[in-house]
Amino acid sequence: MNNTNPPRSAPRAASVFPLFPTAAAALALLAGADAWAQSAEAPSLAPVVVTGNPLGATELIAPAAQYSGDELLLRSKSTLGETLDGTPGVSSTYFGPNASRPVIRGLDGDRIRILNNGGASSDVSSLSYDHAVTQDPLTIERVEVLRGPGALQYGGNAVGGVVNVIDNRIPREPLFDAKGGVAGKADLGLASGNREQSGAVLLETGTDRYALHADVMSRNTQDVSVPADLACTRGGVTSYGRRICNSASEAWGGSLGGSLFFDRGYLGASLSSYGTRYGTVAEDEVRIGMQSSRLALEGEVRDLSGALQSVKAQFSRSDYQHTEFNAGAAGTLFKNTGNDLRLQARHAKVGALDGVVGLQYEDGEFSADGSEAFAPYSRTRQGAAFAHEELATSWGRLSAGARLESVQVDSLGHPTLSRFTAASRHFLPISYALGALWKVAPEWQLTSNLSWSERAPKDYELFADGQHVATNAYEIGNANLEKERSTNLDIGAAWRRGAHSAGVQAFVNQFGNYISLEGSDLTASPPKYSYTQVQARFTGLEVNGNIRLLEGAHKLDLALRADTVRADNTSTGQPLPRIAPMRLGATLLWSGGPWGARLGVDQIAAQDRVPDGQLATSGYTLWNAALTYRAKTGKSQLLWYARLDNIGDTLAYSASSILTQTAAGKAPLPGRNLKAGLQISF
């Protein structure tokens, strides 16, 4: 660590409160839809993926995965993208160890919708690869990944998929009986490769009529160890070491939340804050200081009579800012404020037809001030109406959905930079989808999804024009971009017999005018990248399975996974950039008594299908292992764990990272790393 870190600022939570009365009034109106009748008992939640499943079906038509408990703990990394990387169909943008967003089926940025408890997560992580997501895996209770356009109710910017980060900051069900109680969890961890020190504490209390939640987290790391000597220039002095220069980080956060429960629903609120300071790794002395606060309100009325069975409302307001520091001097300041209001109602069944309808409104204001501002002040407002219907049949289910949006994107110019001028664009995206699930036999099912999706360009895709120091690139928008349109087909087959299972998904996404960040002058300093509309096609295959090798007191499973994506600019015949290559993986999982162990290997092929003028990446093999031990002391459960990543200390570079092109050789994947920790639940 050097002394150029930006100063830590206090959480800016106060600015979220002016809208509290408005949102509270909206939830009060929702509550008034029913007199909170006192007859029904509060239902319990089924342990199923819910992001693309608004009707509660236990079998999903869209391909999905979820992680919680030990599985999430043992794959958790410092970023959301790296935590999910390796899931079939999911890679990451990997801008070093501190900023990484999920890439699903080759699609990233604004085509992947990141949600927080089903509501919008307003940050600027899609604006640039070096901008971190404002959610730390330490505070995640469950994460759900929906691949493909099956989550149509979340709009055209979910054409690649949805990642829903779930916590219990607003409890949706009573945690205790009428006598009340207290529960909690603490997680402490240490790691060798980046000298990580991390910890999180969660406390919950309440009765059957109310619940309170509080959590805090902290993570500190040093520069990440790698199996290569890399240059690092600070203060004009260049040194060499086996660490990624400028990859140290600090993160902290916390929340307070609570809910009131009624016999037919709940009403809750939470206030959370998250901050981080981290190096951007593309430049040796550029660091980011980021702070975000979020107010969330949520309520639901269930078991209604008449045309509507339930009504749910969610509101959130996010206040985000980060400053890019160059050699300790404050540079560009990015700010983003966002509001999200979502109303969703489940209607009474009409024969075998069941469904939900809803309305959503989002608005966001963005600004960038400083000599390196590469986008103007802007405001984006979006309203939408959507519907999702399912028809039960004797052989399975049919689904249909539609979403109509109105999107206004305004460039407000810039108070000090004359190259940015006022401009406005309006779009009317329309998306719809059809799906089917066919139970071919007791152990077999087939699924298919066909959709047409439209996405309005983002403000930065339209109006960017400037050098972004952190990514070492000059980015140029195109104010004449049209809606991005795609036709998407997904076909799957799944088999299950006891602990044995297998699944395969094939997909194709055909874009008529895909918005691509293309290298327009890679010889310039810095290289120039322009947002350009092209025809594009994404095709791919995902395979996963599990074989139970040993049954009884000791269980042994072999989990298998594989995926491949081919993405082409069909306008030019060139490959599209930043596409993960074919990946194969296998993990042996053993459990016996209080012990658990796993040994895994991932083989990543070379990626030489890159646009002309860009660099290929070599293939590599990564081994990993983990060991867990459970114990009980009094009323507390102890889980000791150790995880060893990149056992062979292999030098590897990510093909889906822009750093492979803009800062070649500066940011390999982390080397060998041992993380050990203790999780206490009570």
Query: Residue 159's domain spans which residues?
Result: 13-681
The SS3 call for residue 158 is helix
The mean per-residue pLDDT over the stretch 78-83 comes to 92
In a 3-state reduction of DSSP, which class is residue 70? helix
Find residue 165's DSSP bridge partners.
116, 143
What's phi and psi for 642, nearest 5 deg? -145, 135
* Banded model confidence at residue 242, pLDDT cuts 50, 70, 90: very high
For residues 282 and 470, the answer to whether their CB atoms sit within 8 Å is yes
CA separation for the pair 268, 40 (Å, rounded): 19
Query: For residue 616, is pLDDT > 90?
Result: yes
Question: Domain containing 600 — which CATH number?
Answer: 2.40.170.20
Cα separation, 132 vs 101, in Å, equals 8
Q: What 3-state class would DSSP assign to 223?
A: coil
Rounded to whole angstroms, the Cα distance separating 680 from 632 reads 9
Burial class (CB in 10 A: 0-12, 13-18, 19+), 48: middle
**Distance from C-alpha of 439 to C-alpha of 468, rounded to nearest angstrom:** 51
The token pair that represents 286 in the structure block? 């550029």
Query: Would you state the pLDDT for residue 149?
Result: 58
Return the closest-CA partner of residue 142 out of 89, 56, 86, 84. 84
Q: How many CA atoms lie less than 13 Å away from 614 in the CB half-sphere?
A: 27
Q: How far apart are CA 577 and CA 557, in angstroms?
A: 36
Query: Under 8 Å CB-to-CB from 626, ≥6 apart: which residues?
Result: 74, 596, 597, 598, 641, 642, 643, 644
- State both tokens at 411: 């460039």
Question: Model confidence over 474-529: pLDDT tens digits?
Answer: 889 999 999 999 999 999 999 999 999 999 999 999 999 999 877 788 788 888 88
Q: What is the distance between the alpha carbons of residues 555 and 548, in angstroms, rounded to a whole number?
A: 8
Residue 274 lies in a domain: yes
Residues 279 and 249 sit within 8 Å (Cβ to Cβ): yes
Widest distance between CA atoms in the chain = 75
Mean pLDDT over 660-666 rounds to: 89
Question: How many domains, the chain?
Answer: 1
User: Do the domain assignments include residue 4?
Assistant: no
Examine residue 2 and state whether it is found in any structural domain, yes or no.
no
Residue 48 predicted with pLDDT over 70: no
The dihedrals phi and psi of 73, each to the nearest 5 degrees, come to -60, -45
Check residue 50 and give its pLDDT.
57
Q: What is the mean pLDDT of residues 332-344?
A: 93
| pLDDT score, position 31 | 37
Query: What is the model's pLDDT at position 501?
Result: 96
**526 upstream amide cis, omega within 30 of 0:** yes
- The DSSP annotation for 589-634 comes to EEEETTEEEEEEEEEE--B----TTSPPB--EEEEEEEEEEEEEET
> Both tokens of residue 2?
């050097």
Average per-residue pLDDT in the chain? 88
Residue 407 has pLDDT above 90, yes or no: yes
* Mean pLDDT along residues 87-107: 94
What tokens were used for 521?
């002058």
Confidence of residue 47 (pLDDT cuts 50, 70, 90): very low
Question: Distance between CA 302 and CA 311 in Å, rounded?
Answer: 7
pLDDT at residue 42, as a whole number: 34
Q: What is the DSSP string of 416-453?
A: S-TT--EEEEEE--EEEEEEEEEEEETTEEEEEEEEEE
Block residue for tokens 């867990």: 628
Q: Hey, what are 439's tokens?
A: 């139970």
User: Which residue has tokens 């160059």?
Assistant: 326
- Is 6 within a domain? no
Single-letter amino acid, residue 52: G
> Which of 169-173, 468-472, 568-572, 642-646 has the least mean pLDDT?
468-472
The residues near 575 (Cβ < 8 Å, ≥ 6 apart) are 567, 568, 569, 609, 610, 611
Six token digits for residue 590: 């053993």
**For position 151, what pLDDT does the model report?**
60
Decide: 190 and 675 in contact? Cβ < 8 Å: yes
180-234 residue pLDDT tens: 999 999 999 999 999 999 999 999 999 999 999 999 999 999 999 999 999 999 9
Query: Looking at per-residue confidence, does 44 or 555 come out higher?
Result: 555
The arithmetic mean of pLDDT across residues 6-21, rounded, is: 36
Residue 156: inside a domain: yes
Query: Around 179, how many Cα atoms within 13 Å sit in the side-chain half-sphere?
Result: 1
Alpha helices in 33-181 (DSSP H): 69-75, 80-84
Tokens of 198: 């991390």
Local structure of 664: helix, strand or coil: coil
